[in-house]
Structure 1
């Protein structure tokens, strides 16, 4: 190598190594967490810049009904404390149907009166009466009812080949009705995720449909379902599924007893469910009636893993699965979601002042 080329190489290395801290911080701010962590290993200045902008996500809390349908408890993973609260009298006996942005969509078993409820502030938003002769199959909402963009969604297939979609926003006095010719619905669990302005819905056959509330359009995606492993029977393949969104992406988690969970990422461009060997810095908090996801959760909590909505008896720890360790904790735990009461437990995003409210 000539002297001139060596000098150019040295100048190039020196430029990257000695970037001003302000410029480094600006670059690190725009990196995804995985790239942020990789960049922090380059040198000390890069580590300091990367760590300074690395936002630690607070975990969601676990909400469950240990005693009766008239009260509930909130468990805070950050300090392992439990907080017992009473439901408003009007919600006594109600069940949680969906959770998002710290709010719950609730109704009673044989009622069509949906209510949005914040279990931290105790605020209630009553929705218009919904006339359904045999209930619904899928339900969800887009964001907190404090936002003007909030849309509540219910989906039902009354007749073979026809899907009925109803939407409503807080403040409206009636539900908007829409009938669609579709063979989609065959739903047992409430698999709904709102991401990038769209509702993603999953049925038992692992087909995906998308509802756009702004355009009022319904589309069953031409994407083959994930391939069932040979050692998994049909019944197990239909149970223990969780669908979760993260920054525009949609993931599907499949669990089978104490076997390793399978994770698939929806790739609409390639029209496939892409199997993931691990989830990197992502942490998934799975529950039947909606899931939460975080990156770079606080120190001491599992990363590249999944938390399930079940406390280990009276112990202040959760059942979880670590992809790094390739095992459940505690060992030997059988995640049988068809028979566990933990199916009624749900993760919920706490407000920033949650500790002041409870």
Structure 2
């Protein structure tokens, strides 16, 4: 008994069973994972076993003529062109998630979910499109029964109409709410924590819960416009993204350094962040993606924008570690480039560009 007690007293963290070490390492961000791997051989083995490299999203864009689309893989700079189905020629992308696109024809009320990798199409029920919907999106791929397509529009002053659809339904479910939340343009949407987060031009935040069918404007003061940024630029270059339940807003102003804010619901504030840590954000108007373990050659603690440079061999990106854009002079004017031509999309793991 004395020998057993002496051994237990001499045990350290490095003596933890490998299974338990692996469970602990799975919760670490990449920087802490790397630090932990230096402790000892067993910690290295556990850290490396869960250090799974995430495939970055691909950039998808529509060259002229718009009867085709192209993919660009930022990790190896490969490109691939595919032909757009005839029924979608002239349609615009409204939202992207889980490798699917929500698209609508510019002159009709037809919404469709389209997988540009498998060419699968899901037609949605007819929906009257009175001057377009200011905000549309969906929760997950339509192959899941949990998919919810969300649309919101203000038909008359002081009211918004929300319509939702899920796989298997033949009509849209509608509800009207007293609200003046939406703007004519510049509204943003992210699905996270089982809810749709909506951001308007004035940077006010609202949440729609599809399970309870409630829409609430949160009591969270908007981020304050810096003194050295003009108001028009402050409203134009916005991007919103979710990551493991957290909500981030990125504000960009031409060649000036972007600002990043993280939502703190407990305190009811937008917390300004000096960097992204181990996170990498891929930002575009209708789709934003986030990754932690990006491939070698990709920049962590960075924001990748949907713009190709240097003869289309690299994306415009901002490197927080270096405090600069690459390239430094990127000539992006978000006020004039708010189209859906360039978006980030999650590619299937086994899909290869040839």
- Among 348, 351, 354, the alignment partner of 1:354 is 351
Q: Are residue 203 (structure 1) and residue 200 (structure 2) matched?
A: yes
4+ residue runs of structure 1 moved beyond 6 angstroms?
10-13
Equivalent residues, number: 350
Deviation at 1:44, TM superposition (A): 4.3
1:216 aligns with 2:248: no
Task: Classify the secondary structure of the residue corresponding to 1:337.
Answer: coil
Q: CA deviation at 1:162?
A: 0.7
Counterpart in the other structure of 2:222: 225
Aligned counterparts of 1:96 and 1:50: Cα–Cα separation in 2: 40
5+ long unaligned stretches in structure 2: none
Q: How far is 1:282 from its partner?
A: 0.5
TM-score normalized by the length of structure 1: 0.92
Counterpart CA distance in 1 for 2:197 and 2:312 is: 35
Per-residue CA distance 1:177-214 (angstroms, 9 max, x = gap): 10001121125134100001100000000000000011
Structure-2 change in CA distance of 1:342 and 1:182 (3 Å):
closer
Equivalent residue for 2:260? 263
Per-residue CA deviations over 1:28-53 (Å, capped at 9, x if unaligned) read 12334443234234344323321221
SS for the counterpart of 1:180 is strand
Match of 2:292 among 295, 300, 316: 295
| Equivalent of residue 180 in structure 1, options 174, 177, 181 | 177
TM-score w.r.t. length of structure 2: 0.93
Match of 1:241 among 238, 241, 245: 238
User: What corresponds to 1:19 in structure 2?
Assistant: 16
Contact 1:64–1:74 (CA under 8 A) maintained in structure 2: yes
1:74 has 2:71 as partner: yes
**2:135 corresponds to 1:115:** no
- In the alignment, does 2:131 pair up with 1:134? yes
Q: Is the 8 A contact 1:187 1:203 kept in 2?
A: no
Task: Tell me, in whole angstroms, the C-alpha distance in 1 between the residues paired with 2:171 and 2:208.
Answer: 19
| Residue 334 (structure 1) shift | 3.3
Mapping 1:57-96, distance limit 5 Å: 57-96=54-93
Are positions 1:318 and 2:319 aligned together? no
Indicate the SS of the match to 1:252: strand
Question: What are the superposed Cα offsets for residues 272-320 of structure 1, whole Å, 9 maximum, x if unpaired?
Answer: 0010100111000000112000002011101000000111152311100
Between the aligned partners of 1:41 and 1:336, the Cα distance in structure 2 is 44
Equivalent residue runs for 1:159-174 within 5 Å:
159-174=156-171
Structure 1: distance between partners of 2:10 and 2:74 = 44
> Is residue 69–residue 94 contact of structure 1 (8 Å, CA) maintained in 2?
no
Instruction: Structure 1 unaligned segments of length 5 or more: list them.
Output: 1-7
Output the aligned Cα RMSD. Answer: 2.1
What secondary structure sits across from 1:261 in the alignment?
A: strand
SS of 2:257's equivalent in the other structure is: coil
- CA shift digits 1:222-271 (9 cap, x unpaired): 00000110011110110110000111111000000111110001111110
Alpha-carbon shift at residue 92 of structure 1 (Å)? 0.8
The answer (yes or no) to whether the contact 2:75–2:297 under 8 Å persists in 1 is no
Greater alpha carbon shift after TM alignment, 36-45 vs 225-234: 36-45
In the alignment, the residues of structure 2 paired with residue 231 and residue 290 of structure 1 have an alpha-carbon distance, to the nearest angstrom, of 28
Cα distance in 2, alignment partners of residues 229 and 49 from structure 1? 45
**Is residue 157 of structure 1 aligned with residue 154 of structure 2?**
yes
- Contact (CA 8 Å) 2:29, 2:278: kept in 1 or not? no
* 2:27 aligned residue (27, 30, 49): 30
Distance 1:116 1:91 in 2: 10
2:170 aligned counterpart, secondary structure: coil
CA offsets 1:142-194 (integer angstroms, 9 cap, x no match): 00000001111111111111111011113321111100011211251341000
Partner of 1:50: 47
Report the secondary structure of 2:240's partner residue: strand
Contact 1:255/1:335 (8 A) holds in 2:
no
Q: Secondary structure at the match of 2:261?
A: strand
